Structure 1
Amino acid sequence: MSYLKEVKRITTTGLQSMKVRGEKIAMLTCYDYTMATLLDAAGTDVLLVGDSASNVMAGHETTLPITLDQMIYHAQCVSRGAKRAMVLVDMPFGSYQSDSAIALASAVRIMKETGAHAVKLEGGEEVLESILKITKAGIPVMGHLGLTPQSIHQFGSYGLQGKGEEAAEKLIKEALMLQEAGCFGLVVEKIPAALAAKVSAALQIPTIGIGAGVNCDGQVLVMQDMLGMNNEFKPKFLRKYADLAEEITRATSAYVQDVKQAQFPSAEESY
């Protein structure tokens, strides 16, 4: 019996159970069918169709330019490849901040058109009305506090968030607020590890950290970063599990050389 036939789909209640029993949650970003099949088969619990596609797939400097239609396209691709993992979709900038009715319409489109299982929103009190509107419609929502990349121009940098007693208290307050609003989980990004531990202990819902220490209930990384596909990105929190930038360059160079020297295809590779 194959691995995928032995396990059930990861759900919001499944993630909650993992927190209760102390099993860490492994999340990675994903944007296409082929990688979804590989990451899913490797046992990844949650595939996040991140608005980081704006950076790593489209080459933009920030996450702001990506559209709802583009996020839906990437989510459709990932949903087709994920058999076990939960598929979680970032709601892009502009699809939920201005009006809760627009937020609900955006979330409904994502759920109806992609086959995904949940959406993720950045922000705290300022997006509470949108979160309430979406959760009341029966759509699972994951929150996101700390460094919220869609607000990068407001922050001014990608620096550490939640520094100082006042900022820490505000973050904990908003985390509890999001839980009360019905969020099934919370991403905490680039905050002190001690603060992330306090948030995780204070919440009944699971926390997913990125640059937030080991005491979160799970971790998330951008797939391309984890696989070493971008040698220029070297934040402190990143651990590279492969060096695919070097391997892809090596393999491609070998292919180009073989083609140039008429070494490919060989007689055995020809019809």
Structure 2
Amino acid sequence: MRGKPTVYDLQSAKGRRKWLQLHVDSGQEAAAAVEAGIVILSCEPDHSLEPIRAAAPTAFVSAGMPHGLVSSPQEAIREGFKILKRGADAVYCSHSPFFIEAMAREGIPVTGHVGLVPNWATWTNFRAVGRSADEALKVLRKAKDLENAGCACVEVEVVPVELADHITRNTHMITMGMGCGNACDTQYLFSCDVLGTNTGHYPRHAARYADFAALERELQAKRVEALKAFAADVASGSYPEPKHEVHMSAEALEGFLSKADRL
């Protein structure tokens, strides 16, 4: 595909193409993702959004609206447009359909969320959601509510493959699957898990392909080693050497001192 995918492009390819998707934390990660063929990205709406947009101009970027940021539909619309103006192509929102519908009516592409939703986890705990028939129906109902509110995309996180498949086949929304097998329209992971920058818990669905945390520990040790060597050289008088210094000529120094005394 030439250029940046649009909502229309994604929805037109539904059922015919599986997309790779990655949550990234920096412009470097965004650039690497695009070079690797990953053109659907998500990120936080913090200081990293603009660098990510600049580094990945051909990617579809969904930036999150912090949960609890807005308390009225009008605020949701205002904040949604702010996120788009900063470079996002869609606004991730885990708020209720009440807020999502307001943004969607104004043409703001919104990404909703069903299944294991961290911001709503007090109601489910951090576990697979939808394994029983009744709970699966609740997840499906929430997906339908988001669809009716006008969501363009919906993140489907840690639900049974069968449920994710049913939702994907019965909605025009782009389903962004995390921990749902290969049932959704995108295969979605976080860069911190893929690259191994995560130093905490790795969820069951995560796949680690590098150990950047170990590399960072090694890099930090080298930083400390270099700075200790610098400090030791200063203490011993080995630094600075003459080659590190700049001196005035005798004539310039004499002229400076004669005038400095007058100040």
Write the letter of the residue equivalent to 1:83: P
Q: Is the 8 A contact 1:40 1:83 kept in 2?
A: no
> What residue number does 2:5 align with?
10
Aligned ranges 1:122-271 → 2 under 5 Å: 122=94, 127-155=96-124, 157-254=125-222, 256-257=224-225, 260=228
One-letter amino acid matched to 1:141: V
**Number of the residue aligned with 1:105:** 78
Q: Partner amino acid for 1:90? A: G
2:90 is aligned, of 118, 121, 125, to 118
Q: 1:16 to 1:212 in 2, by over 3 A?
A: same
Q: Which has the larger radius of gyration?
A: 2
Question: TM-score when scaled to structure 1?
Answer: 0.78
Q: Please give the per-residue CA displacement for 1:15-59, whole angstroms capped at 9, x wherever unaligned.
A: 1133232x2111111232232222222221211014xxxxxxxxx
Q: Measure, in 1, the Cα distance between the counterparts of 2:15 and 2:206.
A: 27
Cα distance in structure 1, aligned partners of 2:172 and 2:61? 21
Q: How many residues align?
A: 234
Residue 22 of structure 2: which of 15, 19, 28 is its match?
28
Whether the 8 Å contact between 2:178 and 2:187 is mirrored in structure 1 is: yes
1:44 aligns with one of 22, 35, 38: 38
> Which 5+ residue runs of structure 2 have no aligned equivalent?
231-242, 245-263
Which residue is equivalent to 1:85?
59
Instruction: Report the AA paired with residue 52 of structure 2.
Output: V
Aligned-residue offset at 1:256: 4.1
Which one-letter code corresponds to 2:76 in the other structure? A
- Bigger mean CA offset, 249-258 vs 195-204: 249-258
Structure 1 residue 85, shift from structure 2 partner: 0.7
Pairwise CA RMSD: 2.4
For residue 247 of structure 1, report the CA deviation from its aligned partner: 2.4
Asked if the contact 1:30–1:47 (Cα under 8 Å) also holds between the matched residues in 2, the reply is: yes
Alpha-carbon shift at residue 94 of structure 1 (Å):
1.1
Do the aligned residues in 1 keep the contact of 2:176 with 2:187 (CA within 8 Å)? yes
Structure 1: gaps spanning 5 or more residues: 1-5, 51-70, 263-269
